[in-house]
Structure 1
């Protein structure tokens, strides 16, 4: 991969950073072997600057679930009622006069096919709207109660339906704690950070833990309480360098047997606001091809983006990994668009 690719990557990143929304950013692209490696920072960000992973944290949660399944501690077929008392789950999923709360399985959460609503995005009093104006903390129980006040979108496992909702992964986080007998932060440390020797990746838990600021348009948001509360669905902090180590391990079989992807690679389109993203077993898929991109050969991006501008994707057709952050909360499509453009630049 020669100078031509590098020039294309430069051009694409320069165009992105010229957007008035982008105040700082980092892009890191590498192939499996590390023979090709390209890094570009903007606004003082480099490959070791702390960045908020936001929903890329879901890949950590997915990895823990898959590792625990491999160790025989749980199964994707387990009903979630095995891990909670009845009162906790009661009325969580009540759809068209039927209660589905006790039928939900771990796989329904992992594949985002539970039909559960999303307090982060939905309604006028969504947590996303609230967090733009103030910092606040919340507990898992509060999150469950908020979710119970919203209507589910469909019965679990309705054919062809998927709906992206943070609560699916917040529940998975509680299950990991229960099964592993530790806090979620300790589970991440034991199952992921220690084996991969990640020293600058962590789940903030107290006011003393550093949480990077987030940009919303031109406004700088300092939101440690909120990030401390996001946990399994979006609370982790990392660096581009360590996200690269993780995404390679996730898809490369270093954390769990990658044969499991045969089962996980069953994709459903998410709600229209998430277009062009489909969801598999704990990760996003973005198809490259068709009318949307002028691709001759079809390809796909596998991984995750975050609502704050973070991204970590694998492009198997070209054996490339893309990680980074554009730190902008006002437009969650930015990291998706950038990664797609970079993938096209790698042709």
Structure 2
């Protein structure tokens, strides 16, 4: 009996077809994705709609992986410890009153790791009015001082480090950016360049600082193209990096392969706590675990999402890596759907016939 042929490997033509189909989904106007396997025998990039494979885009909160890498490098150089309190680095006048819970001001006692893991309890300045204003086209800058003033008007939901409590807060990473600047004595963009961009020879990756810079692809909220350069140029440590799918892949591989910090540090980042917002996923310390199915919440992707629709994930079970964007602020489900399909297809091609 003739043996039934198995599926052919993922090739450029098939991948191009899948990406074109992806951009025919509702509100996905442009997308790009790079996929690699562990030994790089598969290394492929494709795009659809308004984007090309080399198009630069806002990686948004994927930037938090870069912040994590920098903090671990600074620790390896003995310039800080993750259990250090932020009051040791940041002036009292800056942080006083940003976390007052039941009439106790915990602001100085919060640790670096609590900021990284979203267990600080510091309220998120971004959710609510700020996000609503941005998607309504009200572009404005949000520097740290303005952020902290807004946070002082909000009420924390729990004290820092409370067991099993976490709340996603972009405020945490604005504070981490300032802390890195204090430790290094230079702007965060200079530290990113020195510790990551130059080290990995990334030539298309940079911190977005000039509101007149029109190189990155615009992203959308539903059918609305968002033009928010003032905002994007003010949030460097929270989500201000611009990159390409290929160069984000270079960073992601380095992050997991021990190039940027000791590989043994990875396990320390994976103390997972479940979050319902801004999506349903688990958060560690500067890193996300995204389940691919509600039936299997223990496995899935490890990396980070960006509010722009950007993603950078490793799938440990198959050894696959995924980077790119769907350039849609509510497009994460489209990305998960495509990534899951590629994983299923890849497993079939690796199975013996």
CA shift, 1:344, in A, is 3.8
Q: Which of 181, 184, 187 in structure 2 is aligned with 1:180? A: 184
CA contact (8 A) 1:268 1:278 kept: yes
CA contact (8 A) 1:12 1:342 kept: no
1:314 corresponds to: 314
The aligned runs of 1:144-183 (5 Å cut-off) are 144-183=148-187
2:267 corresponds to: 262
User: In 2, Cα distance between the equivalents of 1:87 and 1:301?
Assistant: 40
User: In 2, Cα distance between the equivalents of 1:216 and 1:50?
Assistant: 18
1:81-124 CA-partner distances (Å, limit 9, x unpaired): 111111211111111222211110000011111112112113xx
- 1:83 aligned onto 2:86: no
Please identify runs of 4+ aligned residues in structure 1 that moved more than 6 A. Answer: none
Residues 345 and 146 from structure 1, CA distance in 2 versus in 1: closer, same or farther, beyond 3 angstroms? farther
- Unaligned 5+ segments in structure 1 are none
Equivalences, count: 339
Q: Which of 261, 285, 289 in structure 2 is aligned with 1:285? A: 289
Residues 59 and 29 from structure 1, CA distance in 2 versus in 1: closer, same or farther, beyond 3 angstroms? same
CA contact (8 A) 1:117 1:165 kept: yes
CA shift, 1:288, in A, is 4.0
Residues 120 and 310 from structure 1, CA distance in 2 versus in 1: closer, same or farther, beyond 3 angstroms? same
1:140 corresponds to: 144
Residues 30 and 143 from structure 1, CA distance in 2 versus in 1: closer, same or farther, beyond 3 angstroms? same
TM-score by length of 2: 0.90
Q: Secondary structure at the match of 2:25?
A: coil
1:66 corresponds to: 72
User: Which 10-residue stretch deviates more, 39-48 or 332-341?
Assistant: 332-341
1:178-214 CA-partner distances (Å, limit 9, x unpaired): 1111101000000000010001100011234344322
1:39 corresponds to: 45
Q: Secondary structure at the match of 1:304?
A: strand
The aligned runs of 1:1-347 (5 Å cut-off) are 3-5=8-10, 13-122=19-128, 125=129, 127-132=130-135, 133-210=137-214, 211-270=216-275, 272-288=276-292, 291=295, 299-347=299-347
CA shift, 1:68, in A, is 0.5
User: In 2, Cα distance between the equivalents of 1:113 and 1:12?
Assistant: 39
Q: Secondary structure at the match of 1:33?
A: coil
User: In 2, Cα distance between the equivalents of 1:30 and 1:221?
Assistant: 30
User: In 2, Cα distance between the equivalents of 1:25 and 1:326?
Assistant: 4
User: In 1, Cα distance between the equivalents of 2:7 and 2:71?
Assistant: 39
1:34-78 CA-partner distances (Å, limit 9, x unpaired): 211232210242321111101111111111111101111111011
CA contact (8 A) 2:139 2:231 kept: yes
User: In 2, Cα distance between the equivalents of 1:307 and 1:228?
Assistant: 15
CA shift, 1:332, in A, is 4.6
Q: Secondary structure at the match of 2:46?
A: strand
- Unaligned 5+ segments in structure 2 are 1-5, 348-353
CA contact (8 A) 1:309 1:334 kept: no
User: In 1, Cα distance between the equivalents of 2:40 and 2:7?
Assistant: 14
User: In 2, Cα distance between the equivalents of 1:331 and 1:5?
Assistant: 24
| Aligned-residue RMSD, C-alpha | 2.1
1:149-181 CA-partner distances (Å, limit 9, x unpaired): 111121111111111110111111001111111
